[in-house]
Amino acid sequence: MTQTKPPANFWERWHWIWSAIYYLSLIAPLAMVWGDDDLTVSQRTWAIGLVLFSCVWHWFWISLSLKIWPKERPLRQRPFFVTLYLVGSVLIWSQLLLIHPLFNIHLGGLFSQFFLFLPIMWAIVGTALFTMLQIFLNAYAAGEAVSLANGAVWGPLLGIIGASVLGFWISGISAESVRRQELVEELRQTQAELAASERKAGVLSERQRLAHEIHDTLAQGFIGIIMHLEAAQSLPEAQAHKHIQQAEGMARANLKQARYLVEDLRPEPLQKASLPDAITQTVGQWREQSKVVAHVTVTGEERPLPPDTEHTLLRAVQEALANIHKHAQAHEVTVTLSYMGDCVMLDVQDDGVGLNGADSPWQGGFGLTAMRERVEQLGGSLLVESEDDEGTTVVVSIPVVSNQ
């Protein structure tokens, strides 16, 4: 999985605002003191030079932080260079403050840089030291002693408290925003993994469905074709011709089933008839091929069923008849379809040899597994009852929601 860049915090995301405040807090007092007649020409020139140098100093370090170093390690992760930048900015400001007290306005611009490049606690410590320096410089410029009785001292002190509270608040919002962005990114990754898992499960489910379809249709048809061709090989030509014709008919039916499978349509008998008629048609074809007596009985009030239910019941009949033909040695088969109030039941009963050992198709073969999976997917159940030499009964029960 690709590594994503950590989300920027509030201070980094709005760095251009802090730069604008930085420049404005320098230019505004310079414009205000320009007309002060108490300043000499050298002082004005020195003030302009310091303001320009401070702007270039700030631009240089911010450019390094945003355009050059972020790919490796941002400026805030380089303690030596952060200290150099902030100390240099404070020294430039201290010289401006000695020229005129209006440059106290630059305090706001410098505060933002402390919170931008330092952890919250270090930023508060830095602004406190910075404010103490401001108090001493103001007192030095005015020729006064530093005292709490001096009202000019309380302004910077209240500024420290305000800056600390504001810094904590913004940093808290920033941290919460970063956490939310990280959670959103984790959610996106989880959704992508879930979607991939669902696609994989869908592919496996479709493969299983196709395996069931192929087993219930094509595989059974090929077995019938092979049985007729093998029978034809051991008979005279006149008698073998009938088996070859039946094999040819089954091959054509298999071809139709393959086309329906490719087109993902319902089984061909259900395309043209109701479920009882489709079962009757399937049993009739099987009776002709196997030469075994077979009957179909329908009880209860016939009603439309969900397509998946009809499909499953028809496939169960086909699977049961195929196994009877191959293994049961039966003489008679009875298929009963029963419509009940809240379910539909299918019974396939033969009078064959029963479940007699390893040759039985009901001892965990793919046919039983496929049939049971189909029925259980619809909330139904499959039961096999048998005794040796007394036949076998396959019972399929699937719940049906009443229309009442």
104-116 pLDDT, tens per residue? Answer: 788 777 777 777 7
Please give the order of strands across the beta sheet that includes 343-350.
Answer: 293-299, 332-339, 343-350, 392-399, 381-386
Q: Which CATH architecture has domain 292-404?
A: 2-Layer Sandwich (3.30)
- Per-residue pLDDT at 42: 86
Q: Which residue has the higher pLDDT, 262 or 4?
A: 262
Asked if pLDDT for residue 73 goes beyond 50, the answer is: yes
pTM: 0.41
CA distance 93 to 61: 16
Q: Which of 290, 285, 267 is nearest to 350 (CA)?
A: 290
The mean pLDDT value of the chain amounts to 76
User: Which span out of 127-141, 165-179, 187-201, 337-351 was modeled with the highest average pLDDT?
Assistant: 337-351
Annotate 46-77 with b (16+ C-beta within 10 A) or e (fewer): bbeebbeebbebbeebbebbeeebeeeebbbe
* Residues 215, 395: Cα–Cα separation, whole Å: 20
> What confidence tier does 2 reach under pLDDT thresholds 50, 70, 90?
very low
Q: Alpha-carbon distance 319 to 371, whole Å?
A: 8
Q: How confident is the model at residue 205 (pLDDT cuts 50, 70, 90)?
A: low
Q: Are strands 343-350 and 381-386 parallel, antiparallel or unpaired?
A: unpaired
Query: Can you tell me the distance from the alpha carbon of 254 to that of 221, in angstroms, rounded to the nearest whole number?
Result: 6
**Which of 149-153, 192-196, 346-350 has the weakest average pLDDT?**
149-153
CA distance 213 to 226: 19
Of the pLDDT bands very low, low, confident and very high (cuts 50, 70, 90), residue 249 is: confident
Query: Mean per-residue pLDDT for 375-404?
Result: 84
Let me know how long the chain is: 404
The pLDDT, as a whole number, for residue 259 is 63
Predicted pLDDT of residue 164? 64
Whether the per-residue pLDDT at 153 is higher than 70: the answer is: no
